[in-house]
Amino acid sequence: MSASPPPSATRRYDTLDGLRGVAALAVMAHHLTQSSSGPHLFSGASLAVDLFFCLSGFVLAESNLTRLLRDGALGDFVIRRLLRLYPLHLCGLLLGATALLLMVDGGRTSLQPMQAWLAIGLHAVYLPWLGGGTITVGQHTTPLAAFPVNDPAWSLCFEMVVNLAFALVVILACRRQSTAQHGAQPWRAMRKLPLFLLALAGAALLTLWTARTHWAAPGWGPENFIGGGPRVVWGFFSGVALWLLWQRVRDQVPRLHPAWLLVASLALFAREVSPSIWLLQTLVAVPLLVLLGAAARPATPRLDRMQQGLGWLSYPLYCLHLPALMLVNVLTAGHLPSPATVVAASALLGIVLAWAAGRWIDEPLRHRLQQGLQRAPKPADPPLRRRA
């Protein structure tokens, strides 16, 4: 049996990429068909957002833990996270703002022009619009989301907050002495941090929220926005806790074929469930899926490339699919022959925009800015304090 890679080494998790890509496609199908008169596909895809949070915690612990322990540079971490999240968030903002202003002009939303501009300004800095209102997409009029410019951005708002909390916990509670003590395995220092407690606190608060309000999958609307807090705390820190667990049990986790896990994820997203079942899926099924995905055995080169491609496309698609739907609805205004045509046109436009934004905007911009970060002089390490 070959030796496992050292816990501090960063490796590629192709199956986690595949799970992220499948989840993004399910979210797109859910949003495109929920306002259509046809069948509502993947009506349980709100669980995909919980998968995103858990994956984010796992991957950030894998890729940023050593740097945070070694450098303790909060500003550098925040800049890197903004470089990862904001360019495509801005692309979604520009497309969604265009569609929203056209809807205001066409009377397809109850927002007044000044309210729409205020919502756009709040959206630009990851803040929600809690003023209410309605919007008409297709033949359905629904209440406005907390981020009416681009509904999925609510999760990015919470993602930035929980990322900052993660960095602060690591920097404040884990000193350079711990890193020096554990040498090439700085992950051992993480056992002293309250990350498991944070995950458990998120789970307890989310359970309490669900029991009191009977809301499943909170965070996206003004009336349930506050529930997104415990939802992201559980999701993200359960991912971090899974990464810590993974360092100890990686050789004991069953190595399943990736195809089984991709099919299982689609089954979880297939249909809407009651709040209690959603809570059980969030607390048990999602972390188990991530752990099994991390342990999945290598697939064929073709399947691995497909999973990598899905992972690469997932974030651009998540940011741009709903503005694409809004644009198709407002620009065609009943000219397309059937609801199925609207869904197909929106899906095609969303995928094309996602690929183009990722290829020609996000990647070049992040590459240039990261080069600038690497050329920037690094502060000298402060002297270690002697222990009494």
3-state DSSP assignment of residue 135: strand
Rounded CA gap, 138 and 330, in Å?
9
**Residues 8/309, Cβ–Cβ less than 8 Å:** no
Joined tokens for residue 35? 């306002």
Q: Which residues of the chain have pLDDT under 70?
A: 1-10, 174-193, 334, 376-388
Q: Look at residue 289 in the predicted model and tell me its pLDDT.
A: 98
Specify the amino acid at residue 52.
F
DSSP 8-state symbol, 109? B
Burial 229-242 (b: 16+ CB within 10 A, else e): bbbbbbbbbbbbbb
**pLDDT (tens digit per residue) in 30-67:** 999 998 878 999 999 999 999 999 999 999 999 888 77
- Which pLDDT score, from 0 to 100, does residue 47 have? 98
**What is the pLDDT at residue 66?**
76
- Characterize 157-196 residue by residue with b for buried, 16 or more Cβ atoms within 10 angstroms of its Cβ, and e for exposed: bbbbbbbeebbebbbeebebebbeebeeebbbbbeebebb
Side chain identity at residue 273, one-letter code: V
Between the two ends of the chain, the Cα-to-Cα distance in Å is 45
Q: Are 258 and 307 in contact (CB under 8 A)?
A: yes
pLDDT at position 319 is 98
Extract the tokens encoding 356.
């183009």
Q: pLDDT per residue over 29-40, tens digit each? A: 999 999 887 899
pLDDT value at residue 37: 79
**Are 46 and 269 contacting, i.e. CB atoms less than 8 angstroms apart?**
no
Contacts of 262-267 with CB under 8 Å at 24 or more apart are 262/15, 262/18, 262/19, 262/22, 264/289, 265/19, 265/22, 265/23, 265/26, 265/51, 265/289, 266/22, 266/26, 266/42
